[in-house]
Amino acid sequence: MARILITGVAGFIGSHMAEKLIKEGHEVVGIDCFDPFYPKAIKERNLLEIQKTGPIDFYELDFSIPGEMDKIEGHLDAVIHLAAKAGVLPSIHESGAYIQANIAGTQLILEFMKSRGIKKMVFASSSSVYGNNETPFSENQDVSHPISPYAFTKKSCELLNHAYHHLFQIDILNLRFFTVYGERQRPDLAIHKFVKAIRADQPITMYGTGDTARDYTYVLDIVDGVYKALQYVMLHEGVFEILNIGNQNPVSLKEMISVIYEVLGKTPKIIHGAMQPGDVEITFANIDKAKKLLGYDPKTSFRKGIENFVRWVESF
């Protein structure tokens, strides 16, 4: 059994991650500041859901404020650093806040780890670092041309992580998540917005031609990838890796919308809008490296994941 710190534990992925660790017999310490990006009530509900699985040691704090992490008590074996200002679009207008929370904040996490002698980290990076690269995206591609401040912050964190790995022997796996969906998905994300609107018989807006595509990855597959990465980093010394955690199966926007209408049994009502700035055409993960290194193997079909998500939305 290990004692693991999860940052952003009250969020979408963080809350599922906490449940997974508890089920696997680990002790979870969680931090979250209830960033106002979406309502605190949703995050409080996520925390309550975690507590149905088992206890967590929770601290409400903002890690990007110097000194706040000192409140955390006791020994820690590893950090799963998920907390961030997420989302491409808002980062365009709030780049300063994204740089502060994501980059300066990650530096404070790394300093905290250094000061406490914690040598193992799994970091949530993003497929957005690939921008408009050739697909499928592979970890060895040049990602020096970010097309949003959000992507810039994620690549910057990977670089900073490397510096701390090199200087202070902190072992780190950087996982580039590809559009995550499923129960508790952030309300700002397209699938969530579409399901809510369609259930209320409202029209939805399809941006662009509908041919843009995303390598949607079901949240429990992501959590499985993070858990395997945690096991790997805890077992190995001197490791620093960047790994795609995706589904290797892009779904077009048109197809995504049609699956949601089908699962909900509703007739399509679609408004057409211009493509949004900062958005990439397609994301498509090559996951060979994560398969080989971690045995990562996403199993959930897009339709099954949407069915699970709809069932969750309907449970309220």
Ligand X SMILES: NC(=O)c1ccc[n+]([C@@H]2O[C@H](COP(=O)([O-])OP(=O)(O)OC[C@H]3O[C@@H](n4cnc5c(N)ncnc54)[C@H](O)[C@@H]3O)[C@@H](O)[C@H]2O)c1
What residues are labeled active site?
Answer: 150
| Least CB distance to ligand X at residue 269 (A) | 26
| Least CB distance to ligand X at residue 94 (A) | 12
Contact residues toward ligand X (CB under 6 A) are 8, 10-14, 31-35, 37, 43, 62-64, 82-86, 101, 105, 124, 126, 177, 179-180, 186
| Least CB distance to ligand X at residue 236 (A) | 23
**Ramachandran region, residue 244 (left: φ > 0; alpha: ψ -120 to 50; beta: rest):** beta
Alpha carbons 313 and 316: distance in angstroms, whole number: 6
**Closer CB to ligand X, 124 or 294, in the complex:** 124
Instruction: Report which DSSP code applies to 162.
Output: H
Single-letter residue type at 22: I
**Closer CB to ligand X, 44 or 203, in the complex:** 44
**Closer CB to ligand X, 115 or 202, in the complex:** 115
Question: What's the distance, CA 176 to chain centroid?
Answer: 8
Choose among 200, 143, 204: nearest CA to 174: 143
Q: How many CB atoms lie within 10 A of CB 106?
A: 26
| Least CB distance to ligand X at residue 41 (A) | 12
CB 185 within 8 A of CB 222: no
**Closer CB to ligand X, 129 or 233, in the complex:** 129
Query: Which residues are CB-neighbours of 148 under 8 A, at least 6 positions away?
Result: 88, 91, 92, 128, 278
